[in-house]
């Protein structure tokens, strides 16, 4: 199963829902019953899961589950499990309930948190032949993201990867020690080049959706001109836009040569004035 991360703030009046897609390879799990469970990530008791009921997927294996109002009004990070009633296969995901004014730190993945855009290509090729490839993280990348999270800012992982890579992306972040945060990938099922018409506009639309919910896209990290343009489009100041790799510093952005040399900059910043509620840095 593959789940989309959802985030909401406490003043939301429109319907808020969890969305999941269930597939076995290229085969969608259509018209099947899925039971959804949620639990606060800060709860130690692993048995304290709350059922949100059983819902039926559509012809494409998708389903939507409304989030209860009491959860919407209680900020924090919630773990989500969606279980197929037929064979008990399970999808894992997260729900982030954030207060208005929460400062989000947006991170591109490939070439930013990993050592290069070629890493996802290697992963796609390995996955096609049922092999596992572990993309190499940039040195210091984990420390940078964890330091932001420890100071009360909300990491957001925004990538042009195809949506079917959600589980691989989430598992990779967990394996390498990155802190929890919404993961947003494209709706494509094939790799997408990091160009403006596809990935650039996708990233702009998602960041604008965060801003419309009252969240602050405060700082942003990337490695391409597409990233630089997308961050500029949503109003992230050049002084708070960081590029690493061959395009570092392009367009007046802040260049990063090594993440480890960037840690002191974060350490010197004040803690978030609207800190995230979750105390755990584990998924």
| Nearest residue to 151 (alpha-carbon basis) of 4, 52, 1, 270 | 270
How far apart, in whole angstroms, are the C-alpha atoms of residue 188 and residue 191?
Answer: 7
The whole-number pLDDT of residue 187 equals 81
136: confidence class by pLDDT, cuts 50, 70, 90: very high
Whether 27 shows a pLDDT value over 90: the answer reads no
**Of 84-98, 222-236, 253-267, where does mean pLDDT reach its minimum?**
84-98
Contact in structure between 256 and 281 (CB atoms under 8 Å) = no
The whole-number pLDDT of residue 129 equals 75
The whole-number pLDDT of residue 4 equals 55
- Average pLDDT for the chain: 90
Provide mean pLDDT across the span 31-41.
94
pTM of structure? 0.91
More confident call, 75 vs 119: 75
The whole-number pLDDT of residue 162 equals 84
DSSP for 166-200, please give it. HHHHHHHHHHTTPPP--EE--S-SS---S-IIIII
């Amino acid at each position: 199963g593959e789940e989309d991360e959802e985030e909401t703030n406490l003043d939301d009046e429109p319907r808020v829902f969890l969305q999941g897609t269930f597939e076995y390879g290229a085969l969608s799990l259509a018209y099947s019953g899925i039971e959804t469970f949620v639990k606060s990530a800060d709860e130690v008791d692993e048995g304290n899961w709350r059922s949100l009921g059983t819902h039926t997927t559509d012809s494409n294996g998708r389903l939507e589950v409304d989030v209860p109002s009491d959860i919407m009004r209680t900020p924090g990070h919630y773990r989500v499990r969606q279980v197929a009633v037929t064979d008990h296969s399970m999808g894992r995901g997260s729900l982030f309930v954030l207060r208005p004014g929460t400062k989000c730190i947006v991170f591109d993945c490939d070439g930013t948190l990993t050592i290069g855009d070629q890493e996802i290509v290697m992963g796609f090729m390995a996955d096609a032949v049922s092999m596992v490839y572990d993309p190499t993280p940039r040195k210091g990348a984990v420390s940078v993201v964890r330091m932001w999270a420890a100071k009360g800012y909300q990491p957001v992982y925004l990538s042009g990867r195809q949506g079917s890579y959600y589980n691989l992306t989430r598992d990779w972040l967990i394996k390498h020690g990155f802190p929890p945060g919404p993961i947003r990938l494209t709706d494509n099922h094939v790799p997408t080049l990091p160009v403006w018409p596809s990935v650039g506009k996708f990233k702009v639309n998602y960041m604008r959706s965060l801003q419309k919910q009252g969240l602050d896209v405060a700082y942003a990290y990337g490695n391409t001109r597409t990233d630089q343009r997308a961050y500029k489009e949503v109003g992230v100041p050049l002084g708070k836009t960081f590029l690493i790799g061959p395009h570092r510093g392009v367009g007046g952005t802040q260049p990063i040569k090594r993440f480890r040399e960037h840690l002191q900059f974060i350490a010197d910043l004040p803690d978030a004035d609207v800190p995230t509620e979750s105390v755990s840095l584990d998924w």
